[in-house]
Amino acid sequence: QVTLKESGPALVKPTQTLTLTCTFSGFSLSTSGMRVSWIRQPPGKALEWLARIDWDDDKFYSTSLKTRLTISKDTSKNQVVLTMTNMDPVDTATYYCARSYGSWYSDFDYWGQGTLVTVSS
């Protein structure tokens, strides 16, 4: 059974750095073709893809946010970590991690429940 769960602070102040952890089970990120992405959704708004890390440690970032994002993995702990620097109130959103497996264009077939992060002083 594949599960993913996001964890991190519910509230961060403007200019702070956000660190989110995705802890998963039911698959290994060392398996060829396995990938984990971070996706966010501001309240009442659309989904926005942020970053992806692949089984071979390839990393991809949203063009608009790449200067603020870092994604990493700890295969032994079954975790993927996303850091986002210089947080702003517009970054208030539910942050999801999601798995994709197989082809470059495979769907996000399993999602975490999401974690709401509010940016406010």
Partner 1 sequence: NFMLAQPHSVSESPGKTVTISCTRSSGSIASNYVLWYQQRPGSSPTTVIYEDNQRPSGVPDRFSGSIDSSSNSASLTISGLKTEDEADYYCQSYDTSNWVFGGGTKLTVL
**CA gap 77, 88 in Å, rounded:** 30
Residue 114 as a binder of partner 1 (CB under 8 A): the answer is: yes
Q: How far is the CB of 99 from partner 1 (least distance, A)?
A: 12
Residue 30 as a binder of partner 1 (CB under 8 A): the answer is: no
**CA gap 31, 34 in Å, rounded:** 6
Residue 2 as a binder of partner 1 (CB under 8 A): the answer is: no
**CA gap 14, 17 in Å, rounded:** 9
The residue range among 17-25, 59-67, 75-83, 84-92 that interacts with partner 1, by the rule CB under 8 A, is 59-67
Residues 61-80 that bind partner 1 (CB under 8 A): 62-64
Contact in structure between 7 and 67 (CB atoms under 8 Å) = no
The residue range among 8-16, 20-28, 47-55, 79-87 that interacts with partner 1, by the rule CB under 8 A, is 47-55
Cβ-Cβ contacts under 8 Å for 103 (sequence gap 6 or more): 33
**CA gap 67, 57 in Å, rounded:** 19
Residue 18 or residue 50: which is nearer to partner 1 going by CB? Answer: 50
Q: Which two tokens stand for residue 54?
A: 């692949």
Residue 37 as a binder of partner 1 (CB under 8 A): the answer is: yes
Residues of this chain that interact with partner 1 (CB under 8 A) are 37, 39, 45-49, 52, 60, 62-64, 96, 98, 104-109, 111-114
